[in-house]
Structure 1
Amino acid sequence: MSDCGCHHEAKNAQERRVLKIALVLNAVMAVIGGLAGWIAQSTGLLADALDMLSDATAYAIGLVAIGRTARFKANAAWLSGSVLLVLGIGVLVEVGRRVVYGAEPLSGWMIGTALLSLVVNVTVLRLLAPLKAGEVHLRATWLFTRADVVANIGVILAGVLVLWLATPYPDYVIGTLIGLYVIKEAIEILGDAHRARAASKPLAA
């Protein structure tokens, strides 16, 4: 009776609970960050909000993948990485548009919103810590959140520099760096997914 699968079921239940909490927190912060970024004319906040939206997508995919085959999980991670790659490129395009047409980012909104996001992301990162060494789709969710923490710190620093130097360029710089970091994380997730796909293929007879 020791092979009843109870441990596996308990593990799946714990994963679902963690991913549901992470999904809700990131979805809420994506909306808050997006609105704040629009009001503050901040590419850094907009990039951060898009990053958190992609996180929410990753958590949703992670929930669907629990209990599925290794091939399904690899495909879920590949989809997460692809979404993140597109968003990262989109951030760089938006930064370029702001540089050309100009913007006046509001440092108070940048710092306050990024601080709130940082609190949320550190909380989620601690919840996800037991999953970072797990299967590929779960590792992807941890990587997403790790990138968010770095981005939050960067936006706070950029907000301080915008206030101190009275120039929008620190916001452009952090928007660019977040975009590049997001692209790096996407490539890492896609690499994991590719290796997992290869490992899930049946051996030839």
Structure 2
Amino acid sequence: MSGSCCNHNDADQAARAQADTIYRRVLWAVLAINAVMFVVEIGAGIASRSASLQADAVDFLGDAANYGISLFVVGHALHIRARASLAKALTMGAFGIWVLGVAGWNVMTGATPHAYTMGIVGFSALAANGASFGLLWRFREGDSNMRSAWICTRNDVVSNIAVLLAALGVFGTGTGWPDVLVASIMGILALQGATVVTRQALAELRPFSVRPAE
């Protein structure tokens, strides 16, 4: 009986180790994708004066950092992974607040971005995030650390589609309002994602905060 239990535990540990190895490889791939796209999009965003492109670029940078954190904590205890998730939720929330600030600044300055640049770079970003989304799909129902990585990528795909719509809006209206609107939506999505991850991470940490009665 005890031998059977030991074999079962060994099988579970082996399966977990294999899953962690696959997850690490996926994280390295999406980290590289996000790092490259940050460089591409921040340059295009500044050159085109697009708030939504700049916001998306900073989002790529934040995601790359988040994937790096995820790589560091893969295979660690649940409470360590949950605390890492709280750190990632904080960066997601900070990104959301920053984006809303940039959108407000562009309203005051009346900047009008270049629609063609927005469209071309936005389509490239959508392709990159679509690849990341597909790679992370199987881990979407994991712990808060895995879920936060998937939520970041899910939000990015939505944001990229919105950037493309903003490019069409800027082209059609000749104003920067569509760009500002999309940047604001991206900021709100980041704040919503930060809230979801924070709630799950706190729920995972709750059992560790309960002290036995003396």
Task: Tell whether the structures are fold-level matches, with TM greater than 0.5.
Answer: yes
**Aligned partner letter, 1:163:** F
Runs of 5+ in structure 1 lacking a partner? none
Once the two structures are TM-superposed, the CA of residue 69 in structure 1 deviates from its matched residue by 1.0
Partners of 2:115 and 2:170 within 8 A in 1:
yes
Aligned residues: 205
Aligned counterpart, 1:151: 159
* Offset from partner CA, 1:93-137 (integer Å, 9 cap, x none): 111111112212000111111111111111111110111111110
Once the two structures are TM-superposed, the CA of residue 200 in structure 1 deviates from its matched residue by 3.7
Alignment match of 1:90 (pick from 89, 95, 98)? 98
Alignment match of 1:182 (pick from 166, 175, 190)? 190
Tell me whether 1:126 sits opposite 2:134 in the alignment.
yes
Runs of 5+ in structure 2 lacking a partner? 1-5
Tell me, what secondary structure is at the counterpart of 1:68?
coil
Aligned counterpart, 1:70: 78
Structure with higher Rg: it is 2
Tell me whether 1:171 sits opposite 2:179 in the alignment.
yes
Tell me whether 1:6 sits opposite 2:6 in the alignment.
no
Aligned counterpart, 1:80: 88
**Whole-Å separation in 2 of the counterparts to 1:35 and 1:136:** 32
Alignment match of 1:21 (pick from 26, 29, 32)? 29
Once the two structures are TM-superposed, the CA of residue 201 in structure 1 deviates from its matched residue by 3.6
**Whole-Å separation in 2 of the counterparts to 1:118 and 1:201:** 41
Tell me, what secondary structure is at the counterpart of 2:141?
coil
Deviating above 2 A after TM superposition, structure 1's stretches of 4 or more consecutive aligned residues are: 199-203
Once the two structures are TM-superposed, the CA of residue 203 in structure 1 deviates from its matched residue by 5.4
Alignment match of 2:48 (pick from 40, 44, 63)? 40
**Whole-Å separation in 2 of the counterparts to 1:58 and 1:138:** 11
**Aligned partner letter, 1:51:** D
- State percent identity of aligned pairs: 31
Q: TM-score, with normalisation over the residues of structure 1? A: 0.95
Partners of 1:51 and 1:182 within 8 A in 2:
no
* Offset from partner CA, 1:12-70 (integer Å, 9 cap, x none): 11010000001110111112111111111001111111112111111111101111111
Alignment match of 2:207 (pick from 179, 192, 199)? 199
Q: TM-score, with normalisation over the residues of structure 2? A: 0.92
CA RMSD of aligned residues (A): 1.3
**Whole-Å separation in 1 of the counterparts to 2:145 and 2:39:** 24
Aligned counterpart, 2:59: 51
**Aligned partner letter, 1:107:** A
Once the two structures are TM-superposed, the CA of residue 180 in structure 1 deviates from its matched residue by 1.0
**Whole-Å separation in 2 of the counterparts to 1:31 and 1:196:** 35
**Whole-Å separation in 2 of the counterparts to 1:99 and 1:161:** 16
